[in-house]
Amino acid sequence: MIDALKTYKLSLFFAFFLFLYLPLQAQEKSKLELLIDKAYSIIEGSESKPRKNYFYIVPIWGISPETGIKLGASFGYVFKTADDSITRPSSIRLNTSYTQLNQFNIRPHVDIFFKQNTYNLKAQYVYNDFNEYFWGLGNSAPESAKELYNFKQQRFNARLVKQVFKNWYFGPQLMYEKLYKVDFSDLSTTQQNNIPGINGYEVLGAGLAFAFDNRNNVFFPTSGAYLEISNHMFMNQKLNSYRFKAVVMDLRKYISIGKKDVFAAQFFGSYNGGYVPYRQMPTIGNDMIMRGYYNGRYRDDHYFAMQAEYRKFIWGPVGAAVFAGFGNVGSNLTELSQNLKPNYGIGLRGLMIRKEHLNARIDIGFGEKNTRGVYFTIAEAF
């Protein structure tokens, strides 16, 4: 199996090579433009018959000790529900992957803006027959506590908000999750500990979402802001293995720099009260925020993170990004200010759909204690 550190070094070298090499190819612009236009015509159609809707397929790949070789695909469809300049593009996505160790997951997702953005529907279903590492709870969980375990999971969440005033949205949301067939090593004592949901659980909750959104583009904002405050309440004893409440805040701001560059910043917070199942607790690390940490390396009842990113246009369909931030988890507000976790990294962008400015991206993130992660996905992190 390929050593993980070598994989990261190769990815880092590849990123720097493209960053330095591609701008030097400007002298071949005419030839490359013809090749690029031909490639784009597969997705976008020709100039005489441009497509209004777009379908794409992107490979998913990776190598890690816990999965072996991972292969999969992301199928996407981008469209508009009305032929006007106001209605935002909608998307339907299906991600699925299978690994060398017979692990499988599938994640269909929809994000639909109805005519003139009067309503916005977001929904996602997740099925996992997978494994992950578990270190315990808290922001100082030791590396020595690391354990690999298997589980199956089904999760569904949906939100329907209505535009009540210009750029202001309000509506209901719900979430269902079932975690089952949780299997630790025979030598492990983790499932004997008093960790909520460690032997499996089932929860169903509902709540409200409130959002302000005046971004000038859904996929690649260059100006505007996004603010969301939402909650879920899992309080019915007959429907829930555990009773708890969750509140999320998401604040983003975008500023144009020059003609094509963008500075973006985000604050994200998640606060939970009650008896929270461990996999409903917020975690540090994923492909959107706190990039560079293994998702689940640190988890607890409360969480916050801040990040900033500079998105740089390089040449043609190619861009780059640098990002940095910090965050933490904790069981109370005092713990949130202790042992803050930093992260930083770089990334490459490739423009997939020019009209909507939908990018594919590769990010390399780093955290404390030599943690790192490589992410290949569609659309910006935030």
Tokens of residue 168, six digits: 């202001």
Tokens of 67: 């999965």
Q: Is residue 297 part of a domain?
A: no
Are 179 and 140 in contact, with CB atoms under 8 Å apart?
no
SS3 of residue 330 by DSSP = strand
Q: Which range, of 10-14, 143-147, 261-265, 322-326, averages the lowest pLDDT?
A: 10-14
Phi first, then psi: what are they for 288, rounded to 5°?
Answer: -115, -35
DSSP per-residue string spanning 203-217 = EEEEEEEEEEE--S-
Q: Is the pLDDT of residue 275 over 80?
A: yes
* Position 247 in a domain: yes
Q: Is 327 exposed, middle or buried (0-12, 13-18, 19+ CB in 10 A)?
A: buried
Q: Given pLDDT bands bounded at 50, 70 and 90, which one contains residue 70? A: confident
pLDDT classification of 237: cutoffs 50, 70, 90: confident
**Residue 306 or residue 23, greater confidence:** 306
* pLDDT at residue number 222: 97
Structural element, H or E, at residue 156: strand 147-165
> What is the pLDDT at residue 182?
96
> Is the pLDDT confidence value at 11 over 60?
no
**Where does the pLDDT of residue 187 fall: very low under 50, low under 70, confident under 90, or very high at 90 and above?**
confident
Q: Would you say residue 78 lies in a domain?
A: yes
213 found inside a domain: yes
Give the whole-angstrom CA distance, residue 236 versus residue 251: 30
Kindly report each contact of residues 107-112 with a partner whose C-beta sits within 8 Å and lies 24 or more positions away, as own/partner: 112/81
**Does residue 348 sit within a domain?**
no
What one-character-per-residue DSSP string does 48-83 give?
SSB-SSEEEEEEEEEEETTTEEEEEEEEEEEE-SSS
Per-residue pLDDT at 2? 45
Does residue 352 contact residue 318 with C-beta atoms inside 8 Å? Answer: no
Give percent of the chain above pLDDT 90. 69
Closest CA to 327 of 297, 347, 348: 297
What pLDDT was estimated at residue 1? 43
pLDDT value at position 59?
87
The mean pLDDT value of the chain amounts to 89
Task: Return the pLDDT at 101.
Answer: 84
Bridge pairing between strands 201-213 and 224-234: antiparallel
Strands 201-213 and 168-183, how do they pair?
antiparallel
Ranked by mean pLDDT, the top range of 4-13, 42-51, 85-94 is 85-94
153: pLDDT strictly greater than 90: yes
Nearest Cα to Cα of residue 330 among 154, 184, 141: 141
CATH code of residue 212: 2.40.160
pLDDT-based confidence at 64, cuts 50/70/90? low
User: For residue 379, is it within any domain?
Assistant: no
The total domain count for the chain is 1
Instruction: Give the model's pLDDT for residue 24.
Output: 45
In a domain, 288, yes or no: no
Identify whether 301 is part of a domain: no
Domain limits for position 176:
4-282+326-333
